[in-house]
Amino acid sequence: MPATVVVGLQWGDEGKGKTTDLLAESVSLVVRYQGGDNAGHTIVLGDEVFKLHLVPSGVLHPHITPVIGNGVVVNPRTLLAEMAMLRERGVDATRVRVSRNAHVIMPYHVALDGATEARLSNDGLGTTRRGIGPAYADRAARVGIRMGDLLDPVGLRQRLARILPERNAVLAEAYAQPPFELDELVAEAAGWGTALADHIVDTTNLVQDALERGEHVLLEGAQGTMLDLDHGTYPYVTSSNPIAGGACTGAGVGPLQIDQVIGVMKAYATRVGSGPFPTQLDDETGTHLLQKGKEFGTTTGRQRRCGWFDAAPLRHAVAVNSVSSIMVNKLDILSGLPEIRLCTGYTVDGRAARWPLPLPELERAEPVYAAFPGWHEDLGGVRRMEDLPVTAGRYLDALEDLAGVPITLVSVGPERNQTIVRTGRVAARARRPATTGV
Ligand code: IMP
């Protein structure tokens, strides 16, 4: 049985939760490998809507162990609130496992993120203000608190006593913010440790043992390729690696243990926060996508910027993730538009430009569009490719040609069954390193 990565190919919010949900039957472990409660997964089960930020969406399936891997930054307040919400709604949250090596988002990380964004105002990155950047910065600077540290209040106090004065000084001097009290912080953090003690484990062994037993492990990315710290539109990115490679470091699997990579994308594009977005639409088509697509952030409630599908970075996204097949979400949202456009590349200063582009060039990039006739039919009830309007099929074919890998799943509504499974389209095998003949 395979290890499968589910990865976003755009700027996040591609609908990865639905992909995970569709695969859930065959899966025993769902592992989040990066990000934190900046993410938001909305899962619709009949009349019930679940919004999850930290707990992997697999928790809704009783046979799945939801795992928060070492690459995730965890705000224990959010985690405990989410587990309580699940319990109240009759979902068993005792199965949730959190890596003891995952870093903790401390209250001062949240304060620093908010203070930086507030000071920069319109020049800010438009972060979710959840403390993601400061927590990952402390991890890299080796002054972070890890989930395992919460289980040892004495060691925790010693660590915090070293770290806190500096954080408080920055908050006071750079941002005129009040300090955090050591005693209060230690008490709250130790309380998290007590409440989460049964959940904090070594998740690498958990994942490796499942793979060893031949079980199907799903590695779930948050955000998307264009928000990747290394391969996205830096600095307008998040502070982790959403790309499939992030699953190796963030869940403790080797590259050759990954059998398939499912790239998830929407039939159009959205972006939340600041940063270049060449296909953005500020007209009535943009409003159509925003309203019909309900494009409001799960985490912050912010209105997402909407635009035509941007295929300029698509090949690159397919390559850096070694995507073996694609799921296209929200095709139904395009119904009713007289014409649909697809950005096939950019020109910069009159010359064709290839992704990736340096930021100043990306900011000047002019999209080159291919135009397709639209369709009016509601797609919500379509379950087979042959029942799609011909024009919708042509649009999908064009997307597939540009991606260079098969589109095997197409979603036409939020429900699990509102999905077209394209049989006969064999997923390309995840690329293996080429063997060099001697
Ligand atoms: P941060 O991850 O909160 O530091 O935010 C950095 C950038 O990533 C901002 O532009 C956010 O809007 C964006 N971002 C973070 N998480 C998500 C997500 O789950 N979906 C879409 N955008 C996100």
Q: Whose CA is nearest to atom 15 of ligand 1?
A: 38
Position 435 pLDDT exceeds 80: no
Closest ligand 1 atom to residue 302 Cα is: 12
Per annotation, catalytic residue among 13, 113, 149, 310? 13
d(CA 412, CA 76): 35
Q: How far is the CA of 138 from the centre of ligand 1 (A)?
A: 18
Burial of 432 (C-beta count, 10 Å sphere; 0-12/13-18/19+): exposed
Task: Report the pLDDT averaged over residues 50-68.
Answer: 93
d(CA 261, CA 126): 29
Q: DSSP 3-state assignment of 258?
A: coil
Output the average pLDDT for the chain. Answer: 94
d(CA 213, CA 80): 31
Q: How far is the CA of 273 from the centre of ligand 1 (A)?
A: 7
Task: Report the pLDDT averaged over residues 242-255.
Answer: 98
Q: Is the Cβ–Cβ distance between 371 and 341 less than 8 Å?
A: yes
User: Sorting pLDDT into bands at 50, 70 and 90, what band is 57?
Assistant: confident
Closest CA to 50 of 416, 421, 417: 416
pLDDT of the residue at 437: 35
- List pLDDT tens digits, range 162-174: 999 999 999 999 9
d(CA 208, CA 359): 39
Closest ligand 1 atom to residue 38 Cα is: 16
Instruction: Please name the amino acid found at residue 256.
Output: L
Q: b/e for 184-213, b at 16 or more Cβ within 10 A?
A: ebbeebbebbeebeebbeebbebbbebbee
Q: Assign 3-state DSSP to the chain and report helix, strand, coil percentages, each to 5.
A: 35, 20, 40
Q: Among 57-61, 62-66, 180-184, 418-422, name the one with the lowest average pLDDT.
A: 57-61
d(CA 404, CA 251): 28
Contacts of 226 (CB under 8 A, 6+ apart): 10, 11, 232, 233, 237, 271, 313, 317
263 φ/ψ angles, rounded to the nearest 5 degrees: -85, 130
Tokens 């952030």 correspond to 297
Q: Is the peptide bond before 389 cis (omega within 30 degrees of 0)?
A: no
**What are the distances in angstroms from CA 388 to CA 68, 263, 339, 396, 412?**
38, 22, 16, 10, 10
Task: Report the pLDDT averaged over residues 185-210.
Answer: 97
Q: How far is the CA of 128 from the centre of ligand 1 (A)?
A: 6
Closest CA to 79 of 186, 199, 173, 161: 199
Q: Is the Cβ–Cβ distance between 18 and 267 less than 8 Å?
A: no
Position 433 pLDDT exceeds 70: no
pLDDT of the residue at 429: 54
Position 399 pLDDT exceeds 70: yes
Task: Report the pLDDT averaged over residues 139-144.
Answer: 97
User: Sorting pLDDT into bands at 50, 70 and 90, what band is 1?
Assistant: low
Position 431 pLDDT exceeds 50: no
pLDDT of the residue at 90: 92
Q: How far is the CA of 418 from the centre of ligand 1 (A)?
A: 28
User: Sorting pLDDT into bands at 50, 70 and 90, what band is 283?
Assistant: very high
Q: Whose CA is nearest to atom 5 of ligand 1?
A: 127
Contacts of 52 (CB under 8 A, 6+ apart): 17, 40, 41, 43, 59, 82
Position 430 pLDDT exceeds 50: no
d(CA 137, CA 144): 8
Give residue 224's region: left, alpha or beta (phi > 0; psi -120 to 50): beta
Closest ligand 1 atom to residue 274 Cα is: 10
Q: Is 63 a catalytic residue?
A: no
- List pLDDT tens digits, range 319-371: 999 999 999 999 999 999 999 999 999 999 999 999 999 999 999 999 999 99
Q: How far is the CA of 25 from the centre of ligand 1 (A)?
A: 30
Tokens 């930290």 correspond to 54
Q: Is the Cβ–Cβ distance between 105 and 128 less than 8 Å?
A: no
Q: Is 230 a catalytic residue?
A: no
Prediction pTM value: 0.95
- List pLDDT tens digits, range 3-53: 999 999 999 999 998 898 899 889 999 999 999 999 988 777 778 888 899
Residue 2: both structure tokens together:
């395979």
Closest ligand 1 atom to residue 113 Cα is: 4
pLDDT of the residue at 236: 96
Q: How far is the CA of 347 from the centre of ligand 1 (A)?
A: 27
Per annotation, catalytic residue among 21, 41, 61, 113? 41
Which residues on adjacent β-strands are paired with residue 41? 52
Closest CA to 403 of 259, 293, 264, 234: 264
d(CA 34, CA 232): 15
Q: Among 273-287, 291-305, 424-438, name the one with the lowest average pLDDT.
A: 424-438
Identify the residues whose C-beta falls under 6 Å from ligand 1.
11-13, 38-40, 125-128, 130, 132-133, 222-223, 227, 236, 238-239, 272-273
Closest ligand 1 atom to residue 240 Cα is: 2
